[in-house]
């Protein structure tokens, strides 16, 4: 149960806090290797991780959709 709570605290909207070194990471830092570029922490590719990686993409799609179909 503790592990789940901690994991949720890693990902926070557009940024993630590395559990290994405490650096703030972006989806771009993790999308290629799922590793922290600072300390090489290996992130688990689970649902939370996937959500974090695709979040900016989804936002882009939504933005594009609004631009294409205003109102
Ligand atoms: Zn790290």
For the record, the structure tokens of 37 come out as 């570029």
Residue 3 CA to ligand 1 center (angstroms) comes to: 17
pLDDT of residue 14: 86
The residues with which 24 forms a beta bridge, in sequence order, are 17
- pLDDT 10s digits, 43-66: 999 999 999 999 877 778 888 887
For the segment 23-29, the average pLDDT, to the nearest whole number, is: 96
Geometric angle at alpha carbon 48, from 30 and 4, rounded to 5°:
120
For the segment 26-46, the average pLDDT, to the nearest whole number, is: 95
- pLDDT 10s digits, 11-23: 988 899 999 999 9
Question: Are 9 and 17 contacting, i.e. CB atoms less than 8 angstroms apart?
Answer: yes
Residue 44 CA to ligand 1 center (angstroms) comes to: 13
Question: Three-state DSSP class for 12?
Answer: strand
Residue 1 CA to ligand 1 center (angstroms) comes to: 23
pTM: 0.72
Residue 71 CA to ligand 1 center (angstroms) comes to: 42
Cα distance between the two ends of the chain:
43
For the record, the structure tokens of 35 come out as 């590793």
């Amino acid at each position: 149960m503790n592990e789940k709570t901690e994991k949720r605290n890693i990902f926070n909207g557009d940024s993630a806090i590395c559990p290994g070194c405490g650096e703030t990471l972006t989806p771009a830092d993790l999308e290629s290797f799922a590793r922290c570029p600072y300390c090489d922490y290996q992130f688990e590719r689970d649902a939370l991780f996937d959500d974090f990686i695709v979040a900016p993409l989804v936002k882009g799609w939504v933005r594009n959709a609004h631009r294409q179909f205003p109102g």
